[in-house]
Amino acid sequence: MRVPAHLQEVKEALALRSWVESKAFPRESYFETIDLCKERLGHHQPEDEDDEPSKDAIPPMLAAALDYEGRLLTYVLAQETMAIEDEARWGNICLAAGWVVLQLYEKACRNGEWPPDD
């Protein structure tokens, strides 16, 4: 899964992958949020579909959480590489970060790192 093309520049300019992979990022909390999102989205899936819900719905939910939490804003302001010119730009920054979090989650699932063994 790739970050959509229109968000690639934002992802690269802000080094969002490095931020999400850092020790300071609350990885476990966001991974649990993804698990909950997947579960809840399953309740809204059309009856004739047996597959897992579309993953495209998850990054906007993560974007809202990242915006609400405030850590992303602190990180972006410290970077000084991209101005937050308006609400649309900020929305794209949050959405790009949401996609990066989902990518990290999927990588952890493939590598057997998530969910954790209890």
Taking only the tens place, the pLDDT of each residue in 8-64 is 999 999 999 999 999 999 999 999 999 999 989 888 877 777 677 788 999 999 999
pLDDT at 117: 82
**pLDDT for residue 32:** 97
Amino acid identity of residue 95, one-letter, is L
Query: Tokens in use for 12?
Result: 């690269």
Quickly tell me which residue has 């969910």 as its tokens: 115
What is the per-residue pLDDT across 63-101, written as a single tens digit (0 to 9) for each? 999 999 999 999 999 998 988 989 999 999 999 999 999
Whole-number pLDDT of residue 52: 74
Q: How far is CA 51 from CA 21, 45, 64, in A?
A: 29, 9, 25
Contacts 24+ apart (CB under 8 A), 23-31: 24/71, 25/71, 26/71, 27/104, 28/116, 30/62, 30/65, 30/101, 30/105, 31/105, 31/108, 31/114, 31/115
- pLDDT tens digits along 43-55: 887 777 767 778 8
| Domain ranges for the chain | 26-42+56-110
